[in-house]
Structure 1
C-alpha cells in the first residue's frame, strides 16, 4: 500500500493541514486513483499500460454521465481536484492533449478542474556564492533576495507541467507556507513567511501568454539543498518529510490507519484550494436557494465557484517585494516586471474568509449569466454614501470568470474572449479609485479570468451619477463560435475602512434590492445577487 499521494490529497481536502486543527468538511469525497506503485519503483506513477488522459476521461464521464450504459456515479459533482501532472511534459506554447481534454470537459459539462501547476525538481544556478557553505551561512535576507532573483532567471526551464496550461481550469501554484513553526537544525529555510512560492513550484505563463498559475495557496515549506558543480553553486528544493503540511499517509504494511506524515508541493496547494471551493459551494448553494434556484442546475455553476475563489486574491506585500527584486528595473518597463511576477504568483493567494464571512465594511455582489458574441451586459452598483466627502481608504474589487469553448487545431485555441470595461468601452471605471500593484489588465484579457483591484483615499466631494458602472463585453475569438453563448460570473466587492463601516452594507443592499425588483418587472437578461 504505497498510495501516499492520494491519501494525502484526500486528507488535505477533507481536513486541511492537520497542524492547524481546522474543522473537517462534511461533504462526501469521491476518489478515483490514477496513480500506482509498480514493483521496483520507489515512487508512484500512472500505470505503464494505461494512457493517463484516457483514465481521466473515463473517470469524469463515469461520474457526470455514466460509462458504457451505467448510471452516473456523481451526477451533481462540480469540483474536480486534479493534483496530477506529467512530470516529463512541460508546457511549450501549444496546449497539450491533456489540457485540451480538461478544457473540453470543463466547458461541456460545467465543471471546475482545480489543477496543480507541477513541481520542478531540477537544480537552478546561484550566481552569488562561491561554495555551499557560503550559501548555507549567508544572511537570510540577502540569500532570500538572491534565490528570488535566480529563480526568475531560470524561469525558462521551470515551466508549468501539462495539463496546468488548461484555459478553463483553475491552476494553483504552491506558496512556501505551512502550519509547522520549526525548521530542523542543519537545514536551510530558503524563505521567511513572505508569501512567495516554494522552490519547486512551476511557473507560467499559459496558452497565448495567459496568466498562469491563476493563484497560489500554501504548499508547504521546502528546504534548500545545494551542491557545487564546475565551481558554480546549484540549489533545489527538497521534501524530506520533516516539515510541510501534516496529513494522513498510507501505511506500507497496511495495518495502521492513523499514520500521519508531512508533504509539500503544488498538489497540496491544489488540494487546499479544492477544500476552499467546497466551502464556497456551501455558501453559494444557500445563496441561490434564497432566490429559489438550484445552483447545481445553473449553466454558470462552475464559473461562479471560479470567480469567488479568485475574488479574494491580491499581491499585497509579496507583490511589492517582487516588484523591487525582479527585472527589468526601469520604471517604464512596469508591464514586463508585473508579467514576471504573475508567472510565479498569478493573482496572488486567495483569502476565502473575505468571501464566506460577513463584514459590515464591505459588500459583495455576485452576478451570473450567459452572453453571446458582441453582447455587452451592464451592471450598475450604487456608490456608498460613506465613500464621499472623506479621505478613508476605499476599495473596489472586480473579478470576471467565464468558460470558453476551444478549437484544438487553432493557434488562437480559446474560442471566446470576455472583458470588463466602463460605459465607453475603456477601463476608467470611477475617478474615486485607481489600480493597485497587480497584473496588467491587458494580461488578464488572455485567459478566462480577469481580476482588478482599485483603491484610493483622496477626497471625493461628489459623483456624477452615484453609481459604479461595469460592463461585461463579449467577443468570439473564432468565427466557429460566433453563434454560441458562454457562461460567466462577475463578483464585485465595494469596501471601506473599518472606521466608516456602520451603514455601508445596509446602504448598498437597499439600493441594489430596489433596482433588482425594477429589473424583474422588465424581464432582465441578468441575475444579480447580494451576499
Structure 2
C-alpha cells in the first residue's frame, strides 16, 4: 500500500441539476402554402412510386402492403416528429442522422437576431428516415392538404410533429439505390474483390432497415433471398440484435453477378430492394503473420497470476505455451479455431496478450497479477501465393461473433454457465479499414455501447491504423532525409490535415462508452537512423499511422494516446517512401512465435493495436490499486457495478497534452487550445494516479443520478493562498456508461457533466488541455484548471457538482458515475496538502457515519 494512497470522498450531497442557458438562433422558413407548392412534385413522385409497387405486389401471393423508407431532408431539427411517428399507424421510425450543411436560398436562410438582416451562413440539417405504407403516406398528404385549406385543429395532441416537420422539409424522397452505397464503399470493395480474389465467390453484408415486427423482418429476408438466388448466390448467415436495432445478412454472390453490380448497379433488381438499408463490405481487419522474430531472451519468470481474470483479449489465437504466456492465459475456443491455427501464424494474438500481461517488455515491468481471458476471433487465411494473414473470418459476421463472445463470457452459452463473468475490461485491438467514421454509428460500435452498459464492461479499443499515409506524402525519400526531424513532423502534419477525410477512426472506435486509444510514435528502444532508414516524425508525437478524430457527433476520440512504437521509413525504387516491414527493433517488444512456431520468440511491432493492449495492461494494474484503496477504507473490494467506470476515469485522470503540446501544435499548424482533434485527452501518466504526494492529493467519488438530479462533492482546502504566488492545479475526471438510443442521431441516452464552483474567488481560473465545448459530448469529461495569483481563501471548500439530464432516452434508472479529483500545489512551499486535506476528509467521514 502506498504511503499516500488515494482517498474516497464522503457520500455526496443531493441537489437539483444545473440548467444550461438556451442559445437563440433564428432561421427564416417558407410559409405552409409555399412549402405545399414547392414540395408537390416530390409528393407526386412518391404517390406514383407507391402505386407502381402496389401493382407489382398484386402479383405476389403474400399480398404485402407496399412500404418505402421515406427520407425527410430537413433544415434544423423537429424534436416532436419522433413522437408523432410513434403515434401514427403505418409509420415506423428508422433513424435520423446529420447531413452536410445546406446552402441558404430564398426559402431557407438565417437573420441576425439583433439587426434582423439576412446572414448568408450555411444551415444545419438532418435526415429523418421513416418507414411508411401507402395508407400512412396518403394520410400525411391529407392532413397537410387540410391544413393548407385553412382547417383548424388538424393535428391533434401528439401529432404536432407532423405539422412542424412540414415547414422544415428541404426535400422528401424515398431511400434509393444510391443511399445503399453512399457511405459504405461497397462498389470499391466489389471492384477490388474482382481484381484480387480470382474466381472465388464474393461475400458481403446487407444491412436491413430494422423492423420491430418479426413478420415484416421475415418478409424482408424472403424478398432479399429471392434476389440473391436469382443472381446465383446464397445467404450464409442472418443476424438480428433487437437491442441495437440491427438486422443484417452475410451473403455471397458469384463473380459474374458482382461484375453486374459493379457495371450496372442501379439496373440490378437487388439494388432496388426497398428493405435494404446498406450494402457493406465484410470486415477486412487483417494482420500479416510475418515470422521475422528473435529467440526470447527475457529475464527469469515472475510468480504466476491468481484469481479470476480482470481483463480479456478478443484477438487471434495466442501461443498459450509460450514461456511468457504459460500459466497466465485462459483460452476459450468454443469454435475450435485452434485446430487450423498453426503456431507459427499465431502472431497478433500472442503479441496482444503479451502486451496486456507485461506491457512493452523493454519497459521491464512486472506482469499483471490476474490471468488474461482470451477469446480467439481471428483465423489464419491464405492471402496470395505465399502470404498468410490473421483476419476476421469471412464466413461469419463480425458483429455476431462479438455478441456471442461477450454473452458467453458474461451469461453463458446454451446450457453452459458464464465463462468469465467477473471480467471488467475487454481489449479489442481490431478495426475495420472499410468502415471509417460516418454519419451513422456503425453497428459494431452500437453493440459495444449496449454491452458496456448492460454488463458494466470497459471496452478498450484501438483507434485503427492508416499506414497508407506514406502514399500521400509528396516528398521523395532523399528530400525527407535531408530535413531535420521538426521539418519532417510538419510535412507529415500537413499531409494528415490535407487527407483527414480518408484517415478517420475505424469502427468500432467511435464507441461512446468505450475507451479508444491512439498511438504515439514512441517506444523504449534506442535505435538510430541509418543511411537507408529514417524516422518519420519526432519521438513522442502521435504516430502518423494512427487514425484521427474526432468521433461521432464530434466526441473527443481517440480518448487517449499511448506508446504505439516507432517504425522507420525507407525509400523505394521509384524514390517514394514506405514503411520498413520488419518485426525487429524499433517498436513495442512482445512475445511471438519463432521460426516454424516450435520455439519461443519475441518481436517488435507498432500501431494502435499495441497502444490499446498496453493501456489494457495499465487497467489491470489500476484494478489492483483500487482494490487496495476500497479494502483499506471500506473493508470491501471495488463495487462490482462501478469497476468499469472507475478504471475508465483512472486511466484518463493523469492524461494531459503538456509533454508534447507545443511540438504537436507546430507540426499540425494548430492552436495550443485546439489539440483535441489530434491528441484527444492527451497522454496518460498512470504513476500520477496510483498514489499521491505531499503536494498532491487525489480523491475518488461515486454516485448515481436520475433525470434532473445533481450531486455536490466538497473538497476542503485548508491552505492560505493569500500571501504569495503559489502555482496550483485542479484535475477533474468524470466517467459513466450511458444507455443508448440506437436509432436516433442523438444516440446518448443520458448526459452527465460537472461544474466547478470556487465562489468566484479565482482559485484555478484558467482551463488548459481541452476544448471546453467538446469535453461534455461523450461519456468522459476530463478537464485541467490552473491558477497562481494570491487569493483570500479562508479554509473554504471547492465544490464540484455533477449533473444529469435526459438526452435521447427517458431515463428509468439512476446512472452510476465516478469522479476523480486531484488538487496539487507546486513543490517548494511549506505545505503538506495531502495530510491537511485527508485529515479534513477523515473528520467528515466520521461525522457522516454517526
Q: What is the TM-score with the length of structure 2 in the denominator?
A: 0.57
Q: Which runs of 5+ in 1 are unaligned?
A: 329-333, 522-531
What do residues 25-55 of structure 1 show as CA deviations (whole Å, max 9, x unaligned)?
Answer: 2211111111111234532101121212222
Q: Are residues 367 and 239 of structure 1, via their aligned partners in 2, closer, same or farther at CA, if it must alter by over 3 Å?
A: farther
Following superposition of structure 1 onto structure 2, how do residues 248-287 of structure 1 map, counting pairs within 5 Å? 248-251=591-594, 253-256=596-599, 258-287=600-629
Q: How does 1:143-182 map to 2 (within 5 A)?
A: 143-182=488-527
The answer to whether 1:496 aligns with 2:825 is: yes
Counterpart Cα distance in 1 of 2:346 and 2:370: 22
Q: 1:386 to 1:82 in 2, by over 3 A?
A: farther
CA deviation vs aligned residue, 1:143-187 (integer Å, no higher than 9, x gap): 222222322222221000000000000000000111111135221
Residue aligning to 1:96: 442
Deviation for aligned residue 1:135:
1.6
1:331 matched residue in structure 2: none
**Residue 435 of structure 1: aligned partner:** 766
Residue 477 of structure 2 is aligned to residue 135 of structure 1: no
Partner of residue 153, structure 2 = none
| Secondary structure of 1:167's aligned partner | coil
Secondary structure of the equivalent of 1:44?
Answer: strand
TM-superposed CA distance for 1:457, in Å, is 2.0
Q: Within 2, Cα distance between the matches of 1:79 and 1:362?
A: 28
CA deviations on 1:364-415 (whole Å, 9 max, x unpaired) are 0100111111111011101241544321311111111111000110000111
SS class of match (1:355): helix
Determine if the alignment matches structure 1 residue 463 to structure 2 residue 793.
yes
- 1:446 is matched with 777
Greater mean alpha carbon deviation, residues 492-501 or residues 2-11: 492-501
Higher mean alpha-carbon deviation, 37-46 vs 114-123, is at 37-46
1:438-484 deviation line (CA, Å, top 9, x unaligned): 22122011101111111122222x12661111100111102x32333
Residue 140 of structure 1 deviates from its aligned partner by: 2.3
Aligned residues of 1:378 and 1:471 also touching (Cα < 8 A): yes
The alignment status of 1:372 with 2:715, answered yes or no, reads no
Q: Which residue of 2 aligns with 1:528?
A: none
Q: Is the 8 A contact 2:572 2:578 kept in 1?
A: no
Shift of 1:235: 5.4
Tell me if 1:417 matches 2:757.
no
Which ranges of structure 2 fall in alignment gaps of 5 or more residues? 1-342
2:389 corresponds to which of 31, 40, 43: 43
Partners of 2:694 and 2:518 in 1: how far apart?
32
Bigger relative contact order, structure 1 or 2 (CA pairs below 8 A, ≥6 apart): 1
Q: Report the equivalent of 1:474.
A: 804
- CA distance in 1: counterparts of 2:511 and 2:436, whole angstroms: 13
Change (3 A) 1:505 1:123: closer
2:406 matches 1:63: no
Contact 2:516 2:557 in 1 (8 A): yes
8 Å CA contact 2:768, 2:785 repeated in 1: no
CA contact (8 A) 2:556 2:775 kept: yes
CA distance in structure 2 between the partners assigned to 1:348 and 1:501 by the alignment:
31
Aligned residues: 502
319-328 vs 40-49, greater mean Cα deviation = 319-328
- CA shift for structure 1 position 350: 0.5
The CA deviation string for residues 70-112 of structure 1, in whole angstroms up to 9 with x for no partner, is 1111121101111111122111122111001110010011101
Q: Distance in 1 between matches of 2:721 and 2:623?
A: 31
Q: Please say which structure displays the higher CA radius of gyration.
A: 2
Aligned to 2:652: 310
Using the size of structure 1 for normalisation, the TM-score is: 0.89
Q: Is the 8 A contact 1:123 1:236 kept in 2?
A: no
In the aligned structure 2, how far is the partner of 1:149 from the partner of 1:369? 44
Write the distance in 1 (CA, Å) between the matches of 2:700 and 2:581.
40
1:275 partner SS: helix
Q: Quick check: 2:522–2:563 contact (8 Å CA) kept in 1? A: yes
Seen in structure 2, the aligned counterparts of structure 1 residues 372 and 226 have a Cα distance that, compared at 3 Å, is farther
Q: Which has the higher strand share?
A: 2
Q: Distance in 2 between matches of 1:271 and 1:120?
A: 18
| Distance in 2 separating the partners of 1:68 and 1:428 | 58
Q: 1:189 aligns with which of 532, 535, 552?
A: 535
User: In the TM superposition, what whole-angstrom CA distance separates every residue of 1:185-219 from its partner, at most 9, and x where no partner exists?
Assistant: 221102232x3111210011111110000001000
What is the SS of the residue equivalent to 2:413? coil
Q: 1:12: how far off?
A: 0.9
Q: Which residue of 2 aligns with 1:216?
A: 561
**Cα 1:464–1:102 shift into 2, 3 Å:** same
Maintained 8 Å contact 1:429/1:469: no
How far, CA to CA, are the matches of 1:297 and 1:267 in structure 2? Answer: 29
